[in-house]
Structure 1
Amino acid sequence: MAGVHRLGSFAAVLIATLVWAAPSLSAELIMLEQPGCVWCKRWNEEIGVVYPKTAEGRIAPLRRIDISGPWPDDLSDVARERLTPTFVLVEDGVEVGRLRGYPGEHFFWPLLSDMLEKLPGKGS
């Protein structure tokens, strides 16, 4: 089932709680990409089409950065990366977690969930 993920009931409740409890959360999921990246293309096809509609996408909206272009000033404290795709979870410009590469949709969602649990004030 491309683009669809299944979370355990605990994880689903946790994500729903994060969305409800933190509507003003200023987290972003930064996707570092570059032209011609086949794994970026695969992520776009499997995850990118549904990501904005998910609880995770509401907690940490996606922001794309082309690493072949200039580095954004507001991410000066976030280390640059050469491997794409790389996903960097940031809150208020501070890196919270990083996932290098795309491990496939069945591994991406749990790894992202682990990163989201590290948001300040949201972890267990």
Structure 2
Amino acid sequence: MRLAPALAAALLWVATLPAFAVELVMVEQPGCAYCRQWDREVSVEYPKTAEGRAAPLVRVQLREVEDSGYDLARPVNYTPTFVLVEDGIELARIEGYPGEDFFWGLLGMMLKAQTGFDPVAASTSQNEG
């Protein structure tokens, strides 16, 4: 089955739009040493965690932030910057990468304060069930 060119183009355009709901947007850029450090320390386990399931990661290049469709409270000046968004609107952010332990703690506090989701409680209940 072959799609008409206009339909194929429309589907491709829709596929590039942010999915929305609650997401963690990681703004990065090539050559960013702290982005590479986050990738080494966190990226593999992130989608397997309660935090990763509550706020799936979306990566956006710094030069593409303005065209990403996200409504950010202010410009992104540093990479990595982690922006918690709901329905495309910024709720909170972490500027820079403070190391793995601080990252998880800050992210957990952001999720609980902004969405009511408690990753500690979610992890505990999942381990019990």
TM-score normalised by L of structure 2: 0.69
Paired residues of 2:35 and 2:80 also in contact (CA < 8 A): yes
After the TM superposition, which parts of structure 1 deviate over 3 Å for at least 4 consecutive aligned residues? none
* Alpha-carbon distance between aligned partners in 1 of 2:95 and 2:60, rounded to the nearest angstrom: 14
Residue 75 of structure 1 aligns to a residue whose secondary structure is coil
- Unpaired runs of 5+ residues, structure 1, are 1-24
Partner of 1:27: 22
1:94 aligns with 2:83: no
1:60 aligns with 2:29: no
Residue 117 of structure 1 aligns to a residue whose secondary structure is helix
* Alpha-carbon distance between aligned partners in 2 of 1:70 and 1:51, rounded to the nearest angstrom: 22
State percent identity of aligned pairs: 48
1:46 aligns with 2:41: yes
TM-score normalised by L of structure 1: 0.72
**Count of residue pairs brought into register by the alignment:** 99
**Higher Cα Rg: structure 1 or 2?**
2
- Unpaired runs of 5+ residues, structure 2, are 1-19, 119-129
Paired residues of 1:91 and 1:119 also in contact (CA < 8 A): no
Deviation at 1:82, TM superposition (A): 1.9
Structure number with higher helix proportion: 2
Partner of 1:103: 98
